Chain A
């Protein structure tokens, strides 16, 4: 405090003092005059500077803290409510497609589906019901609540139709095929579209959150810059007035505010980049992979339906071609995955494997159709759902495994990036609040000491 020896007063001490305070009930005119008069005097001016500084520092502190808190809340949400909803909706869509594909193929194996197929169907149903229950707990929008309710109402009807189909199939009655077709129609026409809409709604919410999370806190930054500018100006003004270069309080406040601004900018940029990474490396491939998996499951279901209808369902053939082209045609989902991740060591191998399997499957499908058209129905079914190396079941399983492996990689990356984004914000809110409070106190002390000198 060596620099803060008593100043040589350049101006007279303020006139009045407590006695000069306006009496209660005095008209407002004279009071404004008094404030104006006080501001013409140094201690009044010092108080005015302090008031402006306090407002700016507090403003920067509060907006900085709240924007960081809001960011963490939003990132929390991407792993929380809307994140959980979009994951649940996606899982629901996948599980329903898978259940339908498995139910349809297992129907083809006659009255006695293999234990593996039974298990796959039961697992898909378990996944679907769990995902539906999770989604039901997370939905907030009334449109989504209705979608979940619609799906909930249809799921038991679907399973009822599948079980009826199985029973008739076991009894050797062909009407089982019609029940299986009706189940698939219910799935295709009503349930999958609902699940798809739910997933799209959840993803839209998530994208909105992501944009919020990566937005830069302009208000806090502007206030911090204004506070800094004011501080610098105040110091220059004070040093002119008092002929002393430094006011330690104000210098301390400046340093604290610079740290504040740096932390704010760093935390914001880091969280934005991690959020972006979670999207680019995590959720976008997750979406594409899920779409690919769903297209594959639906194509598989249609392929089975075509055979269940004894080749007498041209619409199933059309729908198979549609799903297959969505998956494997030029510009299809596999191409999009390829274009985005061909240089990515973690994903490209799985995507290549998926493409090989899809090609094998697609070629084999032509063979199955040809066999069925030539009346070699038994051979066609064996090629489609048999267990040997050359069967389409094998290629389909390989495709699924490759997509699942790539999905696991992307899911890990998403979780990692989200954790990083949260870590980059950890402590920032409290730190920023503390810094701005310390800057405020420091500035107040620095100015108050100057003011006190006038009354010494």
Chain B
């Protein structure tokens, strides 16, 4: 009996030991993909159809300055002592926070400051309202700001909702590439190359129109294009030259190349119906262009990274 008991105990102990070591170790190394950091919402095969120029109106024709005075312009503001201006504070060289001083700076900011000076007589009587590009039209419609100076292209569609000034910058899509990439322009890019742009249908359409071979990649925030280019995920960035300039100054191994292959005319936007403010600003813009302050702003921010003279501005009035 005792021998039997001993055997049983030994058997029970063996059971325990065996259940303790569950199954043989898996010798296969786990399969793990190579981690490639990608921004949220990146699209590797965006829908693209060549875009046609908008000819339903003459977008560049704005209101002639006439005889509107600064006083009349101020009368259109909610607060006659402070004008509210929608800007970007994240678009390098155009409207951005200088990371060292934490103050607003850029080409758009210079233009806007000159307008504040002209309207208010004091460049500090302003409230800067940072906003995303999608907020520009709603902010005007909801009377949150008096005007918007934020890399905003004048289009017939937008004319339906806002008033525009005359063109204050003639931008266009160009190409940002690595200096040693030997890519000289969009037309030369091949079907195995990727070009990054913002997630708007027109910018992809412009690319496809010039080069149907190249693979467009879109990201919700175009700043991600620069990171993707630096990481080697894409071969080029094709956005407005103003934005490319802001990217090029951050990395000496990159350069802006090729001719502009689209036209983006930036205008200052006002609330629909506020033509007095638009007229007065058009006059102030014309004065700024005439006395060289506009050129000075261009030279300070954009001339060097774009490595070319500014495209001539079209100043056109509808009345």
**Is A bound to B?**
yes
Chain A residues within 8 Å of B, Cβ to Cβ: 54, 58, 61-62, 65-66, 69-70, 73, 110-111, 140, 142, 145-146, 148-150, 153-154, 157, 161, 168-169, 172-179, 181-183, 185-186, 189-190, 309-315, 372-375, 377-378, 381, 433, 437, 440-441, 444
Given A140-B22, A440-B5, check contact A175 B12 (CB 8 Å). no
- DSSP majority for the A interface? helix
The answer on a CB contact under 8 Å between B9 and A310 is no
Q: Are A110 and B32 in contact (CB-based, < 8 A)?
A: no
Interface string of B2-43 (1 = CB under 8 A from A): 101100110010011000101100100111101101111000
B1 and A311 contacting across the interface, CB-CB below 8 Å? no
Contact A175 B9 (CB under 8 A): no
Chain A residues with CB under 8 A of B34? 153
Q: How far is the CA of A309 from the CA of B79 in the complex (A)?
A: 29
Total number of B residues with any Cβ neighbor in A under 8 Å = 49
- Could you say which of B4, B38, B224 contacts A178, with CB atoms under 8 Å apart? B224
**Cα of A62 to Cα of B7 in the assembled complex, Å:** 11
B37 x A111 contact (CB < 8 A) = no
User: Which of B44-52, B95-103, B171-179, B191-199 is the interface stretch?
Assistant: B95-103
Contact of A73 among B2, B16, B99 (CB under 8 A): B16
Contact between chains at B1 and A54 (CB < 8 Å) = yes
Nearest residue, chain A, Cβ from B84: A375
Q: A153-B32, A312-B130 are in contact. Are A175 and B39 (CB under 8 A)?
A: no
Whether A174 and B127, one on each chain, are in contact in the complex, defined by CB atoms closer than 8 angstroms, is no
Q: Which residues of chain B come closer than 8 Å to A444, judged between CB atoms?
A: 1
> Which residues of chain A have C-beta atoms less than 8 A from B226's C-beta?
175, 178
Contacts of A111 in B (CB 8 A): 99-100
Q: Which of B85-93, B208-216, B270-278, B307-315 contacts A (4 or more CB under 8 A)?
A: B85-93
A selection of 29 A-B contacts at a CB cut-off of 8 Å is A61-B5, A65-B12, A66-B12, A66-B16, A110-B102, A146-B31, A146-B32, A173-B250, A174-B96, A174-B97, A174-B223, A175-B92, A175-B223, A175-B230, A175-B250, A178-B224, A179-B227, A182-B39, A182-B224, A183-B37, A185-B40, A310-B89, A312-B130, A373-B130, A374-B129, A375-B128, A375-B129, A377-B89, A433-B9
A91 → chain B, closest Cβ, in Å? 21
Taking CB atoms, residues of chain B closer than 8 Å to A61 are 5
Top-6 shortest CB links A-B: A375-B128, A146-B30, A149-B30, A173-B250, A310-B89, A310-B90
Q: A172-B100, A312-B89 are in contact. List 12 more A-B contacts (CB 8 A).
A: A65-B9, A66-B12, A66-B16, A110-B99, A146-B30, A149-B29, A149-B30, A174-B99, A175-B226, A175-B251, A178-B39, A178-B226
B131 within 8 A of A: yes
Interface string of B118-151 (1 = CB under 8 A from A): 0000000001111110000000000000000000
* Residue among A142, A168, A441 making CB contact with B30, cutoff 8 Å: A142
Partner of B130, one of A54, A186, A377, A441: A377
